[in-house]
Amino acid sequence: MSMRGIDTQVRKDRRRIFKEVANLAYTSENLKDDIEALPYKIVDYDESEYESIYRERAITRERIRLAMGLSLRPENLPVHLTQGLEESNIDEKYYEPPLMQVIPSACNACPENCYEVTDRCMGCVAHPCREVCPRGAISMKNGKSVIDQEKCIKCGKCKAVCPYDAISHQVRPCLAHCGVNAIKSDSKGRAYIDTELCVSCGQCMVSCPFGAIADKSQIFQLIRAIQSGRKIIAQVAPAFVGQFGPKVSPDMIKEAIKELGFFDVYETAIGADMGAIAEAEHYVKEVATGELPFLLTSCCPSWSVLAKKFFPETIDKISNALTPMVATARKIKEEHPDASVVFIGPCASKKLEASRRTIRSDVDFVITFEELAGMFEAKGIDLENVEAGEPLNDATAAGRGYGVAGGVANAIEECIHEYYPDVQVNIEHAESLTECKKMLMLAKAGKKDGCLIEGMACPGGCIAGAGTNIAIPQAMKEVAGFKAKADVKLPNM
């Protein structure tokens, strides 16, 4: 079981920060003073969740900085809360890497990996825990089992045999959800992220029960751009359906986005359609002919970065099809050369994809559904009462399916069956970084030759991205319904 989809205090705190930062952009006359006042406005003296209100305000200050697109401040140097603000108070500002950061003052310094005997131990006569321990780390004291942490090798055999389930395996939630082991410990036992290993999927962020990990946001800069009167067009990723409540239809979401000041709204599924056709052709011409052993899909940036960082020999096997985000942005800019493009999606990693030099000109801003919810709240837009305007109807069922794990491979497979009926296609898909790594190891070992391999960093696909608002099974159902409503099932060649 995970916390995903539960409206925890951590989620409420995050949304409150986004709302307040959006509010600053909309209304602030004196930004420096208003930012200084914000932690006092957010953290009420009588209702702190922490044992210390001062700690909570310290954490809130860092969260505000990250939400403004700024980096965390060093803990032992006098850096002012608003340092770097002037450079951020513009609409061209991009993320200062790294994207994901652990706020040290918020980290609980959880045990990394340890087996402990709980008070459920019955002190049984058999004590099988002691018998199976390969290192003799378990002894009986005062009639209960005790594990000597110096000797314990974390094999978990004692936990597996205990008839009372009295042995607990303590793992850091952030590390448990990181498929690339990028979470390390500092000298105080607090977590930090090794940026050499991190692929910015954000699963650590959504699994930390203390809300100690946050990514950077661009909502402030985006609102500044809208206020400057520029023509700004949004594209929404297919996972957006249902993200703002069961009563809010895609057409209502489109109208609400326009009420925020956007010129128009496109579906990113248009770009997915273009990608499915391109990757189908790529497979038929290169893999089916034996030129390439296998083909990796390109749409999930954390999956591509995983392949490039950890399996460099697969780089030339990653499809060169544009990701749906970039393909859609290029289409928008062909039709509106004077517009800036905002990608609104479920994903933290897309923020980095957009900031790569080659893509920078196409996608100007990236925000998540969670950040968009903060903008709606700041503007006082009640989505359930929005009148739907023009319908969102510019993509096929295949493209809309990209939001769910397996949907990309499925769309490409359908295109191949339709347009290249005599080509046999072998499909594989992996979801979660751990599974993606296994899949790439098998491919590297020659076990996946002839395959088209779809990788998704988030378990469940984009609907499980770090910037989503609703439970994953619910999101899956919503995307399936939206897919079924598409007038056209497959893109045209």
What are the structural domains, with CATH classification, of the chain?
9-107+175-220 (3.30.70.20), 113-171 (3.30.70.20), 230-484 (3.40.50)
Peptide bond between residue 459 and the one before it cis (omega within 30 degrees of 0): no
Question: CA 356 to CA 351: how far, in whole Å?
Answer: 9
Q: What is the pLDDT along the chain (493 residues), one digit of tens a residue?
A: 678 888 999 999 999 999 999 999 999 999 999 999 999 999 987 776 677 899 999 999 999 999 998 888 888 888 888 888 877 666 565 566 788 999 999 999 998 889 999 999 999 999 999 999 999 999 999 999 999 999 999 999 999 999 999 999 999 999 999 999 999 999 999 999 999 999 999 999 999 999 999 999 999 999 999 999 999 999 999 999 999 999 999 999 999 999 999 999 999 999 999 999 999 999 999 999 999 999 999 899 999 999 999 999 998 999 988 899 999 999 999 999 999 999 999 999 999 888 877 766 689 999 999 999 999 999 999 999 999 988 888 889 999 999 999 999 999 999 999 999 999 999 999 999 999 999 999 999 999 999 999 999 999 999 999 999 999 999 999 999 999 998 889 988 7
Question: CA 54 to CA 167: how far, in whole Å?
Answer: 36
- Amino acid identity of 321? A
* CA proximity to 180, closest of 436, 397, 489, 442: 436
First to last CA, the chain: 42
Can you point out the beta strands (E) in 90-164? 100-102, 113-117, 138-141, 144-147
* CA proximity to 173, closest of 117, 211, 215, 118: 211
* pLDDT score for 66: 93
* pLDDT score for 71: 86
Question: CA 344 to CA 222: how far, in whole Å?
Answer: 12
- Amino acid identity of 241? V
* CA proximity to 297, closest of 144, 457, 80: 457
Q: In this predicted model, what pLDDT tens digit does every residue of 435-451 receive, in sequence order?
A: 999 999 999 999 999 99
391: which strand partners? none
* pLDDT score for 3: 83
Handedness of CA 243, 249, 250, 255 (dihedral sign): negative
Reported residue count of the chain is 493
* pLDDT score for 95: 63
Write the CB contacts of 443 (distance below 8 Å, at least 6 apart in sequence).
Answer: 293, 294, 296, 311, 314, 317, 451, 453
Side-chain half-sphere CA neighbours of 67 within 13 A: 27
CA angle, corner 213, sides to 211 and 215, nearest 5?
A: 120
Question: Packing angle between helix 53-67 and helix 9-27, nearest 10 degrees?
Answer: 60
Can you point out the beta strands (E) in 130-220? 138-141, 144-147, 167-171, 183-185, 191-193, 213-215
* CA proximity to 5, closest of 478, 480, 356: 478
* pLDDT score for 112: 85
Let me know: does 25 contact 226? Beta carbons within 8 Å: no
* pLDDT score for 89: 65
Write the CB contacts of 357 (distance below 8 Å, at least 6 apart in sequence).
Answer: none
265: which strand partners? 234
Q: Hey, what are 156's tokens?
A: 């978990």
* pLDDT score for 285: 94
Q: In this predicted model, what pLDDT tens digit does every residue of 204-256 receive, in sequence order?
A: 999 999 999 999 999 999 999 999 999 999 999 999 999 999 999 999 999 99
